[in-house]
Amino acid sequence: MQPTIKSKQPNAATTIFTVMSVLAAQHNAINLGQGFPDFMMDAELTALVTKAMNSGHNQYVHMNGLMQLRESIAEKIHYLYNNTVNADAEITITPGGTYAIYTALTTILQPGDEVIVFEPAYDSYIPTIEINGAVPVIIPLRFPDYSIDWELVKQKVSTKTKAIILNTPHNPTGMVLGANDIEQLKKIVSGTDIFIVSDEVYEHLIYDGKQHESMLRHPELFERSFVCFSFGKTYHCTGWKIGYCVAPPSLMAEFRKIHQFNCFSTNSTVQFALAAFLKQKEKYLQLGSFLQQKRDYFAGMMLQTKFKALPSHGSYFQLYRCNDITDESEKDFAIRLTKEYKVTAIPTSVFYKNETDNKVLRFCFAKKESTLEEAVNRLMKL
């Protein structure tokens, strides 16, 4: 008789990103759902990967990541955030940003701990909390600007609160934390044992003159933080699945105890290429203006449709209201949009544990102009 599994995620289904991408492929739809570019990445970076491979850099590098890459990251952190981190003790290279978040939460959580999560939220947060036997304490972002109600956060903090998860720039909303948010956060965590897990994978995709309020910028927050990043979002290579985590030495030491028995070592060839490429500051400094142009181009064309834009100050994404178009649920409408109009978006309701439906869809604008143009031409037929 085959043994049975007691599921750690009994209610989990296939992620909506996979579901909608498969549906898009089936119906030959333009996929503005999943967050990946359809344009070529920098040829110089791909050439550096080829060079590293041909130079024999194809075996394991150090468990914590190639030192040259960690040193390049440390230089970048000092340049951007005036924070001198130790490349050896405070930076670990990971197979993607989601892995870094998973490992950080697994490092700190014990059964019964509580973690504050703001919804809508990236879909890995709550499952990771629950897999570790902890309890998500969900706080809704205020619709329609998706701001944080810090008074409510104060009410939800308890003796069981082990961590707060932050995401800025925010997926799916494009919201970014401001100076007031940082001051409120400092007041709440001061004198507590609360950790911060900060998802900053879109750190360079920030628009309208906004400043990225990284936890690395604020010493009193960084001392309790695991800060997670993604090269995939920075250099348009999401399929490489390579990122990193930055944390103070005592926190990182515990992070590595989990990391070493999970993936042990991350793709070596790509690390050699990134170590060299990261030295070119202009490559990441221009990303914000590059993607803002795409956001603005898409938003300008979308004025010809019945969709109404909500503000996006960062990330690959912009939310659009569809309440004047349909009475269907977001999910049903997104499916019909894919099947009948051949454009795929993500229903924002799936970023809530209880699928809150505000009649809002998430569109990815990190696409070629021709792709965005054709998508809007199809959406105009609604």
Side-by-side strand order, sheet with 91-94: 91-94, 243-246, 225-230, 195-199, 161-167, 114-119, 135-140
Same domain for 205 and 294?
A: no
Domain containing 341 equals 16-41+285-379
Among 21-35, 190-204, 284-298, the range scoring the smallest mean pLDDT is 21-35
In a domain, 10, yes or no: no
Same domain for 165 and 146?
A: yes
Helix (H, G, I), strand (E, B) or coil at 114: strand
Same domain for 107 and 195?
A: yes
- Asked whether residue 13 carries a pLDDT value surpassing 80, the answer given is no
CATH number of the domain at 374, please: 3.90.1150.10
Dmax over Cα atoms in the chain, in whole Å? 63
CATH number of the domain at 123, please: 3.40.640.10
Helix (H, G, I), strand (E, B) or coil at 199: strand
Mean pLDDT for the stretch of residues 326-348: 96
Among residues 247, 281, 315, the one where a domain terminates is 281
Q: What are phi and psi of 343, to 5 degrees?
A: -135, 130
Mean pLDDT for the stretch of residues 199-216: 97
Q: With contact defined as beta carbons under 8 Å apart, do 357 and 44 qualify? A: no
- Asked whether residue 35 carries a pLDDT value surpassing 90, the answer given is no
For 54-92, write each residue's pLDDT tens digit. 999 999 999 999 999 999 999 999 999 999 999 999 999
| Percent over 70 (pLDDT), the chain | 100
**How many structural domains are present in the chain?**
2
List the one residue out of 228, 231, 265 whose CA is nearest residue 49.
Answer: 231
- Cβ neighbours of 16 (radius 10 Å): 18
pLDDT of residue 318: 98
Among residues 230, 256, 281, the one where a domain terminates is 281
Same domain for 26 and 93?
A: no
Which H or E run contains 377? helix 369-379
Helix (H, G, I), strand (E, B) or coil at 196: strand
For 82-122, write each residue's pLDDT tens digit. 999 999 999 999 999 999 999 999 999 999 999 999 999 99
For 148-188, write each residue's pLDDT tens digit. 999 999 999 999 999 999 999 999 999 999 999 999 999 99
Which H or E run contains 135? strand 135-140
What is the pLDDT confidence band of residue 14, given thresholds at 50, 70 and 90?
A: confident
What is the pLDDT confidence band of residue 209, given thresholds at 50, 70 and 90?
A: very high
Among residues 250, 281, 312, the one where a domain terminates is 281
In a domain, 336, yes or no: yes
In a domain, 11, yes or no: no
Q: What are phi and psi of 267, to 5 degrees?
A: -35, 115
pLDDT of residue 10: 87
Same domain for 130 and 271?
A: yes
Same domain for 112 and 152?
A: yes
Which residues neighbour 139 within 8 Å (Cβ) at sequence distance 6 or greater? 116, 117, 118, 119, 148, 149, 152, 153, 156
For 300-320, write each residue's pLDDT tens digit. 999 999 999 999 999 999 999
pTM over 0.85: yes
Question: What are 324's two structure tokens?
Answer: 């004047």
In a domain, 197, yes or no: yes
Q: What are phi and psi of 4, to 5 degrees?
A: -105, 155
Same domain for 238 and 208?
A: yes
Same domain for 301 and 265?
A: no
In a domain, 4, yes or no: no
Same domain for 47 and 90?
A: yes
- Asked whether residue 140 carries a pLDDT value surpassing 90, the answer given is yes
In a domain, 210, yes or no: yes
